[in-house]
C-alpha cells in the first residue's frame, strides 16, 4: 500500500487521471477483483487522502472498464445494485474491451482513448512459462490436465503418484477456495494411503499404490474430487457488499452483507493473534479512518515545511560564522 500511495501522490502533481481496469478474461466466468480494487481505492482517495490535503482527491479519477456485465456471475438484482453504488461513490464505469495499452493511453473497443497515470490490470491468471514447458497433457486454457483424483494426465492416462492442484491445473475457476479444497482433499487421500501398513508407490505404470503386494487404487481410499460453489462475496465501497448464494432468497446486499463479508474473511485468517490484530485494525479504521501517518510525511505541506526549516538553519549557521 505504501508503494502504491507513493505512486498516487507522484501522479497527482501532474493531475493525471487514475485508471483501474478489469476486462474479459479467457475464462467464461469473471471475478470481482477489479470491482473491489476500484471501490476501495476510490474510498481511500476521496475519504482518507482528503483528510491530509483537500486538493489531492480532485486530481484523481477512477474508471472501471468491463468487457461484459459488471459482476456478471452475480444475480441480476445484485449487479444493478453494485453498478449504482459504484457510480454513487465516484467510480466511472465503461462497458468496453481494452484493445491496446500504451505508456499513458488505453485504446478501447470502438476507438475511444483514455489517458491514465496508473493502470491496474485485473484480467485473470494465465499459465506460467514453467507450466507450458512441462511435458503433460494440457487443457484448452493451457493448464495441466488432471483426472477426477487430481492426478496429472500424460498421453491420455493418469500418471503414477503425480498430482497437480490450484491455478495451474484443471478447468475449475482459479480461486483460492478451489485450491484450498483441492489441497485438503489431496492431503486426506494421501494420508489414508500412507497410513496403510507397508505402503509403497507402484512403478508398474498402473497408476496405483500397493499394500502388502495388493493393488490399491485412489478410488479405494477416496471419492473423486468435486467442487461445489458455495457462493460469492464482493465489497463495493461505502461499507456495502454483495453476498450471492446458490439459494437466491438468501442473497444479501448493503451494510449487512458487508458485515458478513468481513466476518467470512476473518475466519480464513490462521492464528487467533492475527485475527485479533485484524479486528482491532478494522475497528480503528471504521471509527477514525485509515492511519495515514506515513502518507502525511509525503505531503506538499510537510515537504515545504522541511525545506523552510532547512533554510532557517542555514541562515542561522551563516550568521554564527560571521
User: What's the whole-number mean pLDDT along residues 178-197?
Assistant: 85
Strand order across the beta sheet in which 214-216 lies: 199-201, 209-211, 214-216
User: What's the whole-number mean pLDDT along residues 104-122?
Assistant: 86
Look at residue 14 in the predicted model and tell me its pLDDT: 31
pLDDT band at 3 (very low <50, low <70, confident <90, very high): very low
80 vs 70: CA distance, rounded Å = 9
Least confident of 26-40, 170-184, 204-218, 273-287: 204-218
Residue 98, class by beta-carbon neighbours within 10 Å (0-12 exposed, 13-18 middle, 19+ buried)? buried
Look at residue 134 in the predicted model and tell me its pLDDT: 92
pTM above 0.75, yes or no: no
Average pLDDT in the chain: 77
Least confident of 55-59, 81-85, 202-206, 214-218: 202-206
pLDDT band at 21 (very low <50, low <70, confident <90, very high): very low
Q: Is 36 left (phi over 0), alpha (psi -120 to 50) or beta?
A: alpha
For the chain, list the domains and their CATH numbers: 2-124+230-296 (3.50.50.100), 129-221 (no CATH)
Question: Is pLDDT of 89 > 80?
Answer: yes
- Angle (CA) 183 213 218, round 5°: 25
116 vs 119: CA distance, rounded Å = 7
Instruction: Select the highest-mean-pLDDT range: 89-93, 151-155, 227-231.
Output: 151-155
The pair phi, psi for residue 266, each rounded to 5°, is -65, -35
Strands (E), 78-221: 91-95, 98-101, 105-108, 113-115, 118-121, 151-154, 157-163, 199-201, 209-211, 214-216
Question: Is pLDDT of 319 > 90?
Answer: no
121 vs 51: CA distance, rounded Å = 28
Least confident of 41-55, 161-175, 226-240, 256-270: 41-55
- Angle (CA) 178 183 184, round 5°: 100
Least confident of 27-31, 41-45, 284-288: 27-31
pLDDT band at 11 (very low <50, low <70, confident <90, very high): very low
- Cα distances from 253 to residues 88, 154, 257, 259, in angstroms, run 15, 46, 5, 10
Question: Is pLDDT of 163 > 90?
Answer: yes
SS3 content of the chain, % helix, strand, coil (to 5): 45, 20, 35
Question: Is pLDDT of 310 > 80?
Answer: no
Question: Is pLDDT of 159 > 60?
Answer: yes
Look at residue 13 in the predicted model and tell me its pLDDT: 32
Q: Which of 127, 119, 101 is nearest to 34 (CA)?
A: 119
Look at residue 42 in the predicted model and tell me its pLDDT: 87
pLDDT band at 152 (very low <50, low <70, confident <90, very high): very high
| Cell numbers describing residue 127 | 499459465
Least confident of 169-178, 222-231, 291-300: 291-300
Within 8 A by CB and 6+ apart from 205, the residues are 160
Within 8 A by CB and 6+ apart from 271, the residues are none
Question: Is pLDDT of 248 > 70?
Answer: yes
Question: Is pLDDT of 135 > 60?
Answer: yes
Amino acid at each position: 500500500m505504501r508503494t502504491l500511495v507513493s505512486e498516487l501522490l507522484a501522479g497527482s502533481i501532474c493531475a493525471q487521471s487514475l485508471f483501474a481496469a478489469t476486462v474479459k478474461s479467457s475464462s467464461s466466468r469473471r471475478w470481482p477483483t477489479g470491482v473491489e480494487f476500484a471501490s476501495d481505492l476510490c474510498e481511500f482517495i476521496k475519504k482518507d487522502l482528503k483528510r491530509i490535503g483537500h486538493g489531492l482527491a480532485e486530481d484523481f479519477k477512477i474508471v472501471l472498464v468491463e468487457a461484459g456485465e459488471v459482476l456478471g456471475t452475480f444475480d441480476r438484482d445484485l449487479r444493478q445494485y453494485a453498478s449504482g453504488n459504484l457510480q454513487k461513490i465516484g467510480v466511472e464505469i465503461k462497458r468496453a474491451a481494452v484493445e491496446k495499452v500504451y505508456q499513458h493511453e488505453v485504446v478501447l473497443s470502438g476507438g475511444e482513448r483514455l489517458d491514465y497515470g496508473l493502470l491496474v490490470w485485473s484480467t485473470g491468471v494465465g499459465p506460467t512459462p514453467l507450466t507450458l514447458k512441462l511435458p503433460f497433457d494440457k487443457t484448452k486454457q493451457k493448464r495441466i490436465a488432471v483426472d477426477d483424483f487430481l492426478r496429472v494426465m500424460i498421453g491420455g492416462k493418469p500418471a503414477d503418484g503425480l498430482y497437480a492442484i490450484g491455478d495451474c491445473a484443471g478447468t475449475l475457476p482459479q480461486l483460492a477456495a478451489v485450491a484450498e479444497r483441492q489441497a485438503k482433499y489431496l492431503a486426506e487421500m494421501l494420508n489414508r494411503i500412507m497410513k496403510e501398513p507397508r505402503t509403497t508407490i507402484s512403478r508398474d505404470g498402473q497408476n496405483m499404490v500397493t499394500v502388502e503386494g495388493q493393488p490399491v487404487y485412489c478410488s479405494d481410499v477416496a471419492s473423486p474430487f468435486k467442487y461445489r460453489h458455495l457462493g460469492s462475496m464482493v465489497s463495493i465501497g461505502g461499507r456495502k457488499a454483495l453476498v450471492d448464494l446458490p439459494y437466491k432468497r438468501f442473497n444479501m446486499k448493503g451494510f449487512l452483507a458487508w458485515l458478513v463479508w468481513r466476518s467470512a474473511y476473518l475466519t480464513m485468517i490462521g492464528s487467533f493473534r492475527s485475527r485479533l490484530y485484524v479486528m482491532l485494525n478494522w475497528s480503528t479504521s471504521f471509527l477514525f479512518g485509515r492511519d495515514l501517518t506515513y502518507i502525511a510525511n509525503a505531503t506538499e505541506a510537510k515537504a515545504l515545511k522541511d525545506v523552510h526549516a532547512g533554510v532557517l538553519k542555514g541562515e542561522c549557521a551563516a550568521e554564527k560564522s560571521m
